[in-house]
Amino acid sequence: MTKRINIGILISGSGTNMDAIINACEDGTINGEVIFVGSDNPEARGLEKAGKKGIPTFVVNYSEITRTFKNNPDSSLLPADFDLEDIRAKQSFFKENAESDKVISFLRTRAIAEALLIEKIKPYPYDLLVLAGFMRNLTPYFIDRVNTAPGKPRIMNIHPALLPAFPGTDGYGDTFRYGCKVGGCTVHFIDYGEDSGPIIGQRAFPITESDSIESIKKKGLALEWELYPECIRLFSEDRLHVVKMTYTLDSGKFVQRTVVKIAQVPIEK
């Protein structure tokens, strides 16, 4: 028997992945329920669709927060439990030589937005937080307050490329412009970097000479709508286990990688 899970979703735009997840809960593919949908963008089209389904929605307006904070760099706006040095040491979006002012300003502004996000999601008893086209990187400030059980990540993301290739905001566009013969999408757990967390599942499609950015987005999204519910179903069945695997090469060199192991379905007796 699997436990019914409560799912929270964050979106920034049209929310077609959100639709696929809600449908998969409704038709029983996922033993779960979407209990809230939040957005950084008040104009996100998915908010209205979720509202029509009776799902509670909320907005934390990141753009407004960034504007306000830039014009008013008042430290009293920062959450009381914000520890800049801790967050800065953990994050891996920025390289070590990144301009210090830029990094600090980014982490401080994000902590203000993320503290509000945490306040919004706190009342909901969610098991899994799903990023479905949420176009903001989450910093360690937020991640550590959601991933509270050691070794049990519970924030998932879908990315429109075969990671680790083409992280960032335009996965399909970058894949197409590079001239790749294959494109795809990836579902992964979130870690402290940009699109760098342990990979749960991937799907690929061929790219031909007659393709355009629009046609590969179409092919990719169709695969995303299958892959995301499938990965969430595996999570709901408690079959995803993040493990560190080590190998010794013939040369004697030691290699370590982080892998999401997918457990076999337990045999019902």
What positions carry a catalytic annotation? 159
Please say whether the dihedral angle defined by the alpha carbons of residues 155, 161, 162 and 163, taken in this order, is positive or negative: negative
Would you count residue 224 as binding ligand GAR (CB under 6 A)? yes
Select the span of 59-67, 71-79, 81-89, 152-160 touching ligand GAR (CB under 6 A).
152-160
E strands, the chain, are 5-11, 32-39, 57-59, 128-131, 155-159, 182-189, 199-206, 240-248, 254-262
Largest CA distance in the chain: 64
Would you count residue 13 as binding ligand GAR (CB under 6 A)? yes
Would you count residue 14 as binding ligand GAR (CB under 6 A)? yes
Which of 132, 123, 143, 147 minimizes the C-alpha distance to 41?
132
Would you count residue 186 as binding ligand GAR (CB under 6 A)? no
Select the span of 68-76, 83-91, 118-126, 154-162 touching ligand GAR (CB under 6 A).
154-162
Angle at 177 between CA 176 and CA 183, to 5 degrees: 25
Would you count residue 133 as binding ligand GAR (CB under 6 A)? yes
Measure Cα distances from 69 to 4, 108, 179 in Å.
Answer: 40, 9, 40
CB of 124 to ligand GAR, least distance (A): 21
Per-residue tokens: 62: 């990141």
Would you count residue 158 as binding ligand GAR (CB under 6 A)? yes
Residue number of the CB atom closest to ligand GAR? 133
Which of 13, 72, 69, 7 minimizes the C-alpha distance to 42?
13
Select the span of 49-57, 67-75, 130-138, 241-249 touching ligand GAR (CB under 6 A).
130-138
Q: Is 179 helix (H, G, I), strand (E, B) or coil?
A: coil
Name the residue nearer to ligand GAR (CB basis): 103 or 223.
Answer: 223
Query: Under rule CB under 6 A, how many of the chain's residues touch ligand GAR?
Result: 17
Name the residue nearer to ligand GAR (CB basis): 87 or 158.
Answer: 158
CB of 224 to ligand GAR, least distance (A): 6
Across-strand partners of 248? 254
Would you count residue 15 as binding ligand GAR (CB under 6 A)? yes
- Please answer whether residues 138 and 106 qualify as being in contact, where contact means their C-beta atoms are separated by less than 8 angstroms: no
Which of 4, 3, 1, 2 minimizes the C-alpha distance to 34?
4
Would you count residue 171 as binding ligand GAR (CB under 6 A)? yes
- Please tell me the distance from the alpha carbon of residue 173 to that of residue 47, in angstroms, as a whole number: 25
Name the residue nearer to ligand GAR (CB basis): 64 or 170.
Answer: 170
Q: Which residues bind ligand GAR (CB under 6 A)?
A: 11, 13-17, 132-133, 135, 158-160, 169, 171, 185, 221, 224
